[in-house]
Amino acid sequence: MEARALLQAGRHGEAEGRYRDVIRDAVTIDMRIPLLNGLVGLASAIAGTDPLGAARLLGMADRLHAEMRIGFWDPAEPDAVVARAETALGANAADARALADARRAGRAMDLDAIRAEVQAGA
């Protein structure tokens, strides 16, 4: 909850750190719903500074979402992340392809690969 409040207050740097903690804790105790929402939250927190990383995280969340068949905490957030990432990266076709490729790469990861990346410091 603190991470989300920080994000909504526009304190993205602080939210990033909190979301990283949430994600690591979710992996440690094998809680997939907090992992899913943590990935989206972290993607949102970094979309302006690391748009490709945000797209990759969003792809990981897409994968979990598809496997678990549950909704995102805020269903509009993935689209908002993409919009912020596009703004941060640029509006040309190559940038759009790079974002789509990064999201596809995240989506291609299975749960074990997502866990490993998160534990390594996603």
pLDDT, tens digit (0-9, with 9 covering 90-100), for 18-67: 999 999 999 999 998 899 999 999 999 999 899 999 999 999 998 998 88
In degrees rounded to 5, what are phi and psi of residue 94? -65, -40
**Is the whole-model pTM more than 0.85?**
yes
Find the domain containing 54 and state its range.
2-119
* Rounded CA separation 74/88 (Å): 22
Provide the token pair at 25.
């804790």
pLDDT per residue as tens digits for the range 67-103 = 887 766 667 777 788 888 888 877 677 888 899 999 9
Domain count along the chain: 1
Pick from 67, 72, 84: nearest CA to 34: 72
* Rounded CA separation 1/22 (Å): 10
